[in-house]
Amino acid sequence: MTSAYNPRFWTALLARRPRGRSHAMPTLLRHMISAVALGAACAAQAGGSGENSYFAELPTVLTVSRLPQAQNEAPGAVTVIDRALIRALGYQDLARVLRLVPGMQVGQERGNSQWVSYHGLSSTYPSEMQVLIDGRSVYSPSTFGGVDWSALPLSIDEIDRIEVVRGSNAVTYGANAFLGVINIITRHSAEAPGEQGAVTAGSRGIGGVSAGLSRAEEGLGWRLNADIRRDEGFAGLHDDHRNATLSMRSDYQLDVHDELSLRVAASGGRKQLGYTDSPFGANDAREARYRNYILHGEWRHARAEGGEWALRYYRNQDEVDEAWDATLPPYSPLFPAGASVPLNRNRSAVRDHLEFEQRWQPGGVSQAVWGAELRRDRVDAPFLYAQGAPGDQDLYRLFANHEWKFAPGWQTTTGAALEQYRGEPLRLAPRAFLNWLPADAHAWRIGYARAWLQKPVFEQQGDVRAYEPDSGVLISHPYVANGDVRQARIDSMEVGYLGRSQVLDSRLDVRLFHERIRDYIYRQATASDRSPLLATELPPSHYVNHDRPVTLTGVEYQLRLQPWSSGQWLLSHTLIRARSGSDAIDDRVAPYTASFTWMQAYPRGWSSTMSVLRMGPLAGGDGFSPLAAYVAKPYTTVDLRLAWGGRVEQRSVQISLNAINLGERHQEIADRAQESRGTCCPANRVSPMVWLGVELGL
């Protein structure tokens, strides 16, 4: 047991990663046993009488069940990233923070493109995790069913904490919570009223200015944030980025029972995409301009007899202008001098969402919540839907969760959701968990959940055709509609442990999981009945369901240590074995990931943070090439931050020097179509980036 707290133990543990998929399972079993043994060791350490209040410091989380539950009582694994950790990391991109979460597989295809998934499997636009801001889904049909992390109308300064549910949670937040939930919770407007400003400048054209203003008086609070950022992306890539965000949150306490909240925000900018040597210019270098607007209102009523209800409405509106010309070489006899073919991904989308939720305590040992929601998505993208605009995508949903503490130290949390999407059968998504808390300092859980994946409308109805304008000849048909695609289903089982020990003031979170996915959706080559001219060079494709189950089996854990009073270590490690009967699908899951973060405070206001990330081989990401498989190689990257904070003339000041992507240049997320050209080196290696930041509070 003592050796588990020796740093050499964890160094050896990270070094013993699987060398190939054929060796993954024995190694995985060894690590599962190690993780469970460590949990038992922590439990033994926690058994002393002097640790009765260890879980008193655990946060109360709502994202898992919509019920206020201590983290150790929640029906599933949840990672809480608080504001202090976000500030200590100093990242400019929100998605980069998620690299520290066990099970997350995060990377960049270019400087302005973030690929965020849980347990991998995702293609170009990950959609298997529900992403929320204050409970509002940020998924949009205009991003092909995914999330554009670089364009979110949100500044990092607004964030209070992030709750990441690791495991299926469709019962609580719908079908996009297929593998988990990321809920970004903003600060209450009445928190820390005042003014603040920040400036950043650094390599690769990094520059930014942000400002915040907040006031609170007589029950009314409001906070205004503005943020402007730019950078030139990674060296050798066409990926400059410019973004501006303006947001406002207001909270008004009407009386002792009622509170109104309102958040409005907008973001806009431009970013470079594509490659200058893309085959036939199908993914040529270009610029996309985007605009995003959100309105989110909530009325919350606390009942005098206990419990509360809430009524919420939000609207998301997204617009993207993205057009370019592909160039054809001379092609006799049709185009003896070559030709220019106009292409575009111009698109807009609107989502309206109405939701009611009621929570109550039917007894002293139980609490429950139920709710209903209605949602409508509308998409306008003529070039992407050659057969005509898709109809409105409607969702109707009922959900409920119930917690019952039936004996001292024992509780169940059960729930179910009924949901129906337009054109789909009525689906039931159940969940049941049993939690055992044998002592205050450690907790065990076991549970099962089922979820159905909402199909992005593009995967079913996307139909892209490129014509030469003068002759009307069909040049390529890269996406072919397939109305037979079915919703994927996941059945997930897990065993978890959460404990704390006096040894190095440590806290351990372990999740062992087995996830079985039926009708997994992926993109494959197909034939086009319209005989495009470049059918061989640019093969048509469509989305289909895999004919065999995909299983993910593994272990993930996070260990927090305080080896001395001024330092903190955070270690995350994940091992996964994917089995689908297809190497191309299995390769979309990195078999291992690990991260180590060391936060250190020094005298006189100085502090430092170091994060080391190790990512296994991964084939997830952008592009499509049916003729060649491509897997990005494993890599290790290092991020550093040195900061000083203090007061100057009664004003709080913080100065920081930040660096990311240190070490050997590497590729994280590949564009498979670009890599199919067979060049000697990866087409999109990341670059080291260094910047200086100054923050001033008034």
**Residue 655 neighbours by CB under 8 Å, 6+ apart:** 643, 644, 645, 692, 693, 694, 695
Positive/negative CA dihedral, 513, 130, 122, 571: negative
Q: Which two tokens stand for residue 264?
A: 């409005």
Does residue 102 have a cis peptide bond before it, meaning omega lies within 30 degrees of 0?
no
What band does 614 get if pLDDT is binned at 50, 70 and 90?
Answer: very high
Rounded to whole angstroms, the Cα distance separating 22 from 167 reads 26
Beta strands in 381-441 (DSSP E): 393-407, 410-421, 427-439
Rounded to whole angstroms, the Cα distance separating 118 from 167 reads 9
- SS3 (DSSP) at 551: strand
Residue 124: predicted pLDDT: 80
Rounded to whole angstroms, the Cα distance separating 462 from 386 reads 8
Positive/negative CA dihedral, 9, 10, 12, 16: positive
**pLDDT of residue 328 exceeding 50:** yes
Averaged pLDDT of the chain: 90
What band does 143 get if pLDDT is binned at 50, 70 and 90?
Answer: confident
Residue 622: predicted pLDDT: 62
**Residue 317 neighbours by CB under 8 Å, 6+ apart:** 292, 293, 294, 348, 349, 350, 351
What band does 4 get if pLDDT is binned at 50, 70 and 90?
Answer: very low
Q: Which residues, listed in sequence order, are joined to residue 452 by a DSSP beta bridge?
A: 489
Tokens 């009407």 correspond to 254
Give the mean model confidence (pLDDT) for residues 606-628. 85
**pLDDT of residue 696 exceeding 90:** yes
CA-to-CA separations, 150 to 121, 147, 271, 303, 631, in angstroms, rounded:
21, 9, 9, 40, 25
Rounded to whole angstroms, the Cα distance separating 457 from 653 reads 48
Residue 53: predicted pLDDT: 44
Rounded to whole angstroms, the Cα distance separating 384 from 396 reads 26
Q: How many CB atoms lie within 10 A of CB 223?
A: 25
Residue type, 140: S
- SS3 (DSSP) at 122: coil
Ramachandran area for residue 97 (φ above 0: left; ψ -120 to 50: alpha; else beta): alpha
- SS3 (DSSP) at 17: coil
- Per-residue model confidence as pLDDT tens digits over 622-653: 666 666 678 999 999 999 999 999 999 889 99
The CA-to-CA distance between both ends of the chain, in Å, stands at 49
Give the mean model confidence (pLDDT) for residues 6-34. 44
> 56 exposed, middle or buried (CB, 10 Å; 0-12, 13-18, 19+)?
exposed
Residue 209: predicted pLDDT: 98
- Per-residue model confidence as pLDDT tens digits over 471-485: 999 999 999 999 999
**Residue ranges covered by each domain of the chain:** 2-489+500-697
Residue 50: predicted pLDDT: 40
Q: Which stretch of 38-47, 204-213, 331-340, 496-505 has the lowest confidence by average pLDDT?
A: 38-47
Comparison of pLDDT for 5 and 465, the residue scoring more: 465
Residue 549: predicted pLDDT: 98
DSSP 212-265: EEEEEETTEEEEEEEEEEEE--STTSS--EEEEEEEEEEEEE-SSSEEEEEEEE
The correct answer on CATH 2.40.170.20 for the domain covering 2-489+500-697 is yes
What band does 331 get if pLDDT is binned at 50, 70 and 90?
Answer: confident
DSSP 322-386: EEEEEEEPPBTTTBTT-EEEEEE--EEEEEEEEEEEEEEEEETTEEEEEEEEEEEEEEE-GGGBT
Rounded to whole angstroms, the Cα distance separating 656 from 691 reads 8
Q: Which stretch of 12-26, 144-158, 347-361, 575-589 has the lowest confidence by average pLDDT?
A: 12-26
Beta strands in 16-143 (DSSP E): 60-61, 69-70, 77-82, 104-110, 113-118, 129-133, 136-137
Q: Which two tokens stand for residue 331?
A: 């092609």
**Residue 513 neighbours by CB under 8 Å, 6+ apart:** 167, 492, 493, 494, 552, 553, 554, 555, 556
Residue 424: predicted pLDDT: 87
Rounded to whole angstroms, the Cα distance separating 610 from 643 reads 12
Residue 34: predicted pLDDT: 52
Instruction: Please give the angle made by the CA atoms of 578, 584 and 585, to the nearest 5 degrees.
Output: 40
**pLDDT of residue 28 exceeding 70:** no
Comparison of pLDDT for 122 and 104, the residue scoring more: 104
* 450-486 b/e (C-beta count within 10 Å ≥ 16 → b): bbbbbbbbbbbbbbbbbbbeeeebbbbbbbbbbeebb
Look at strands 464-467 and 194-202 and give their pairing: unpaired
Q: Which residues, listed in sequence order, are joined to residue 286 by a DSSP beta bridge?
A: 273
Instruction: Please give the angle made by the CA atoms of 279, 322 and 242, to the nearest 5 degrees.
Output: 105
